[in-house]
């Protein structure tokens, strides 16, 4: 499929103005197809000119332009030429379209729990053309009127409010102007709950087999939704602009959620069918707030082209965390942002594929997909948080309100936003934007303190450095936190000093005279409260003291910053990997923030033990983590989040010695009081037993029969790929590289389970097969699926120079799809980092 280029989009936007889309869909036909009829009314600034419309049909039935029938053979790939345009035009396209199993276009899912069929449209980026004929670019917005014929008894939802006019026949209110990639519908025998808040109709929906789980959390979801709506109204002084607000939890979703105006879609794992920790509820609240922020940033005001993706995602990322913390019961949302999201951003910003938050060159829609990463989300959000600290929150919000007033229902660019913020703050922000938004890379902040014989600071300096490959120093408004033990033994902040770091003045060394003569602290923490975006380093004495200090640090964001600092040093090969595992084994035992607990466990068990430590050191390191989890289980309150987090941790890193405990829990024996061994935990326990060779195919068959759900099918696929059996590995690999009948999520599950650090000899032959077969796999699947599957299937535990060399040989080819090249580039950079870190471990 030709990728729409920026130049083509600009030319078409200058030529056309789209007045409206009228779309009629018939979903009552064969299982594989649906009928689509589209009427597009549009103007042309140069009558007589030519253009094209996009469409990806199974069969194009007919096309008329201004009453003139066009030859359907004129469709070339996804483009249909339109010639001899008038000043005002009407295009009518009738086509048979194919359902997808990839999460792109109109996705069709059959629920294995009850056999019911569900559909949802994901038109993101350039998939609207899989559903209806359109000018598929973000700056040709138009109102949409949708009608749908569906099986009787189904519920159909879309962007506008819907009315069932006859059994199975639905008509939806005409929407305000929408970009094509926001147009959606969801259909099937949905379970629905309704409410209203401040005059806004609210709905939450899921498939019928999840009804009891949605009902259990409905009050919380409505409460979060209502609180966030109120807070956005306060912040933006502009009401939610799209009428009703439906939130639909859909199966086999590629992303976390999608901000379709009036009909937000979420992956249905957010309908919790098993026990979850508070951290997971925080995450769901943040995602709800994130998608709601898009109603203004992205939906009301849409980027003109994908180079300004950050105007959507960076703002939603920042505001989602901020508003969840300010307007819901989940006031601790920022610690998760610090340890999870910014860790993602820092990693992305140090890879060869790094790019500016607001890049100037995104040449086509294929390239745009590559930028949905930790930079556009987490780094951009951190930059916005720093911008708010830089100009002041009042001016920041005033600028946003003006931005909405100037560009409502239209499109905007970085220049437009900076103009509004500059006018509100009285500052010229072009220099700030040049360094923060137009330059890639992450800097490092190190507090350097000289202490006199009296135990007081003689001098304190904040040193900012940047890597030679990205030698850009940035201005920062940040805080230094001085932490000491109090009378109760807690490590608390004694005082905080604000610091202005301006490399144009201080050349990377900023003195802090306010601290001269103050008593030295046990811990001097740069970027206290996490107001800026930069890696932080600790002194060697502070690192050595962390196993004693960290468990007693009272503030969760400060703890998250400390964990992040140690992790960054480990990933950058400045600290031995064993040290991170030792700190995790000591510090997590008392960690109460479960977002921190879960992320550090993942970094310690999956990355440090699985990739950074040589095989000879893994068993002891995993045993230390397992022992820590066992100690937490022994002391955690029955039924508490800490108990659940520890049980999951044990399931993640258990060795042969702990296998009996896991087996017992599955059989209902010696289960800690209050621990629910429910569906999700059962699969986690079983997966670890499979990897250890202590459960087999018969166990998986039995568990699949016990859990006949869509989620259960994914878990089973993941476990079958993890079986330490040559035949099982061969079947899983063939599924990954050749089976086009598998849905996106089943395919991903096989890839996620395939590689295990304990199975290096078993999977050794597949390392070369990955590099040989990925191009063919990528050629037969959509870009979003390729991005996820190629990453999950990468031989990340085969940490060796031959693996890196094989990867480089593939990267040297010039014919790779952009999305596959990006995955290979990033994963191979991570592999080379692992090789460097292993050198510190004596490997």
Instruction: Enumerate the active-site residues.
Output: 291
Q: Which residue has tokens 């792109």?
A: 104
Beta strands 117-122 and 185-188, pairing class:
antiparallel
Beta strands 88-98 and 59-65, pairing class:
antiparallel
What are the b/e assignments for 740-779, b being 16+ CB within 10 Å?
A: eebbbbbbbbbbbbbbbbbbbeebeebbeebbebbeebbe
Q: Which residue has tokens 């745009």?
A: 368
The size of the chain, in residues, is 843
Assigned token pair, 485 = 């033990």
Assigned token pair, 2 = 């030709």
* SS3 state of residue 713: helix
Residues 622, 588 contacting (CB under 8 angstroms): no
Distance, in Å, from the CA atom of 126 to the CA atom of 104, rounded to the nearest integer, reads: 9
* SS3 state of residue 89: strand
Distance, in Å, from the CA atom of 204 to the CA atom of 221, rounded to the nearest integer, reads: 8
**Alpha carbon 687 to chain centroid, angstroms:** 24
User: For the chain, how big is the Rg over CA atoms in Å?
Assistant: 27
Q: Which residue has tokens 């072009």?
A: 430
Angle (CA) 340-344-346 rounded to 5° is 115
HEC per residue, 119-178: EEEECCCCCHHHCCCECCCCCCCECEEEEEECCCCCEEEECCCEEEEECCEEEECCCCCE
* SS3 state of residue 88: strand
Residues 31, 151 contacting (CB under 8 angstroms): no
- 372 DSSP β-pair partners: none
HEC per residue, 614-668: CHHHHHHHHHHHHHHHHHHHHHCCCCCHHHHHHHHHHHHHCCHHHHHHHHHHHCC
């Amino acid at each position: 499929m030709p990728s729409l280029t920026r130049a083509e989009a600009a030319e078409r936007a200058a030529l056309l103005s789209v007045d409206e889309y009228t779309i009629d869909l018939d979903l009552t036909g064969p299982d594989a197809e649906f009928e689509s009829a589209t009427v597009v009314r549009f103007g042309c600034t140069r009558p007589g000119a030519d253009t094209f419309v996009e469409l990806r049909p199974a069969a194009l039935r007919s096309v008329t332009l201004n009453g003139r029938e066009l030859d359907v053979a004129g469709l070339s790939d996804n483009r249909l030429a339109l010639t001899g345009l008038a000043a005002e035009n009407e295009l009518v396209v009738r086509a048979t379209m194919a359902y997808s199993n990839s999460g792109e276009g109109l996705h069709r899912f059959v629920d294995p729990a009850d056999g019911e069929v569900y559909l949802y449209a994901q038109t993101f980026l350039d998939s609207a053309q899989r559903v209806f004929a359109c000018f598929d670019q973000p700056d040709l917005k138009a109102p949409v009127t949708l009608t749908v014929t569906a099986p009787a008894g189904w519920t159909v939802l879309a962007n506008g409010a819907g009315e069932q006019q006859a059994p199975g026949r639905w008509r939806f209110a005409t929407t305000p102007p929408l970009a094509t990639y926001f147009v959606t519908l969801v259909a099937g025998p949905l379970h629905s709950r309704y409410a209203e808040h401040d005059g806004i109709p609210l709905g939450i929906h899921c498939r019928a087999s999840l009804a009891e789980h949605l009902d259990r959390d409905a009050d919380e979801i409505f409460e979060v939704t209502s609180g966030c709506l109120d807070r956005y109204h306060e912040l933006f002084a502009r009401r939610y602009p799209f009428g009703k607000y439906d939130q639909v939890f859909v199966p086999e979703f590629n992303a976390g959620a999608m901000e379709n105006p009036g009909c937000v879609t979420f992956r249905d794992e957010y309908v919790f069918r098993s026990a979850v920790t508070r951290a997971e509820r925080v995450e769901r609240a943040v995602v709800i707030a994130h998608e709601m922020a898009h109603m203004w940033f992205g939906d009301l005001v849409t980027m003109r082209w994908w180079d300004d993706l950050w105007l959507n995602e960076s703002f939603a990322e920042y505001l989602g965390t901020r508003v969840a913390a300010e307007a819901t019961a989940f006031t601790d949302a920022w610690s998760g942002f610090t340890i999870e999201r910014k860790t993602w951003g820092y990693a992305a910003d140090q890879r060869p594929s790094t790019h500016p938050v607001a890049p100037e060159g995104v040449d086509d829609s294929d390239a745009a997909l590559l930028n949905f990463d930790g930079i556009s989300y987490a780094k951009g959000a951190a930059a916005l948080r720093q911008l708010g600290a830089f100009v002041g929150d009042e001016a920041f919000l005033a600028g946003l309100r003006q931005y909405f007033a100037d560009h409502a229902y239209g499109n905007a660019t970085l220049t437009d936003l900076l103009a509004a913020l500059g006018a509100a703050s009285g500052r010229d922000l072009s220099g700030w934007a040049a360094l923060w938004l137009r330059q890639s890379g992450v800097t490092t902040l190190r507090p350097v303190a000289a202490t006199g014989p009296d135990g007081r600071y003689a001098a304190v300096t904040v040193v900012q450095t940047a890597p030679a490959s990205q030698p850009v120093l940035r201005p920062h408004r940040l805080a230094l936190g001085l932490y000491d033990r109090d009378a109760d033994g807690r490590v608390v902040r004694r005082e905080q000093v604000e610091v202005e770091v301006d490399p144009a003045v201080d050349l990377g060394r900023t003195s802090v005279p306010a601290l001269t003569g103050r008593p030295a602290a046990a811990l001097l923490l740069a970027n206290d409260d996490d107001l800026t975006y930069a890696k932080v380093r600790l002194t060697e004495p502070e690192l050595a003291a962390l196993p004693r200090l960290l468990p007693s640090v009272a503030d969760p964001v400060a703890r998250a910053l400390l964990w992040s600092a140690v992790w960054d040093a480990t990933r950058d090969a400045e600290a031995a990997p064993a040290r991170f595992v030792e700190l995790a084994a000591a510090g997590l035992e008392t960690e109460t923030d479960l977002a921190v607990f879960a992320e550090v466990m993942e970094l310690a068990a999956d990355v440090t033990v699985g990739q950074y430590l040589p095989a000879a050191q893994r068993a002891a390191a995993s045993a230390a983590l397992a022992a820590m989890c066992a100690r937490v289980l022994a002391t955690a309150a029955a039924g508490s989040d800490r108990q659940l987090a520890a049980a999951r941790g044990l399931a993640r890193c258990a060795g042969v010695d702990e296998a009996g405990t896991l087996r017992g829990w599955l059989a209902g024996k010696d289960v800690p009081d209050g621990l629910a061994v429910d569906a999700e935990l059962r699969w986690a326990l079983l997966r670890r037993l499979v990897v250890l060779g202590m459960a087999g195919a018969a166990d998986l068959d039995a568990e699949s029969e016990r859990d006949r759900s869509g989620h259960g099918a994914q878990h089973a696929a993941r476990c079958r790929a993890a079986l330490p059996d040559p035949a099982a590995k061969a079947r899983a690999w063939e599924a990954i590289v050749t089976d086009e009948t598998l849905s996106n999520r089943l395919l991903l599950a096989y890839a996620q389970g395939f590689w295990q650090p304990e199975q290096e000899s078993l999977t050794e032959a597949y390392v070369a097969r990955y590099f040989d077969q990925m191009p063919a796999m990528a050629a037969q699947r959509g870009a979003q699926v390729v991005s996820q599957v190629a990453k999950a299937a990468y031989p990340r535990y085969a940490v060796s120079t031959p693996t890196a060399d094989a990867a480089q040989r593939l990267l040297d080819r010039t014919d790779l799809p952009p999305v596959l090249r990006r995955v290979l580039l990033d994963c191979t950079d991570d592999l080379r980092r692992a090789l460097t870190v292993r050198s510190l471990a004596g490997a």
